[in-house]
Structure 1
């Protein structure tokens, strides 16, 4: 993208810088990101990102918000079948696949030091992203809403399990345990079976299921 062009129509430069930052994080991880590199990729002056986003955190917040929307698309594509344990397994698989497909962005999304969670869009975007996730968890636990602490605790337990799986996959901690060469291979060949075994076993062991 370097030198692609030095002038943009109104609004285009902002999007170009977000695309550049996302590309850097996708290829090099958070460690490779800098405002200067984002500007270089977008083909603009080093001061351009600061003009539009003020700080690196401002630009990284835009990348994280985009990541939440993309994760929401992954989760929304999971077909709800009415089998509560099967549905939560499907949501879990989509969550882990997103993390594996977008590892840098996934890690960024949960970095308090790099993302401005006070941004007025953050709460709405993240809550909307996890709506399919919350619905599947509620069906699995036979609860409704998130008003009572018991309902939030149930969702927290499910999310913790799935989020932990995603990080273990990214750090390739499952390879030796299951005898596979790569996390990608494990996700495609083993994870669907593992998830179904986990959630159906929990349901039979006393966790309520609608199936």
Structure 2
């Protein structure tokens, strides 16, 4: 269930192991009692979420604290203002953003330096190259890629859809709909051809591509 990962990680961090790792976690997505998801970035929530994570993890400080989703109803300056206070209090060391636009990154960075921005970046998803990645590099912000295997597509191709559970959220994504799979499988076939020449799997090739994007990735 929600927050279970932090509780389990808290157990693993005992007995001196905490000092051996860099610890990152997120805030910003809420789950109501009736099972509905929400997004919050107000100052009160930012603080309460951080303090709750500290308790679950059993630590006094979080190395990298990400805003999971940007709350568009709250100015990013408000969210960052509270995060800056948490840094000054020693409860977090560095601030990260996830799924933020280039303009939001700039505004946030003007309040307090952003250490990392998490984005979807892969051979299958390259929209961030237009403005988000250049902005991060201009400002000296690290880039953390999620779904480097295209949510599994770059490892299995179109056949992955046949293996997905009926409740798998990927079934709702446009890229996994049949009308788009016919086009997307052309990309996968090209990747397969290159990986065969290189003597590796398509998944290995996709990961190597991301790894090759720079030392800041």
Higher relative contact order (CA 8 A, sep 6+): 1
Q: Which has the higher helix share?
A: 1
TM-score (norm 1): 0.30
Q: Which has the higher strand share?
A: 2
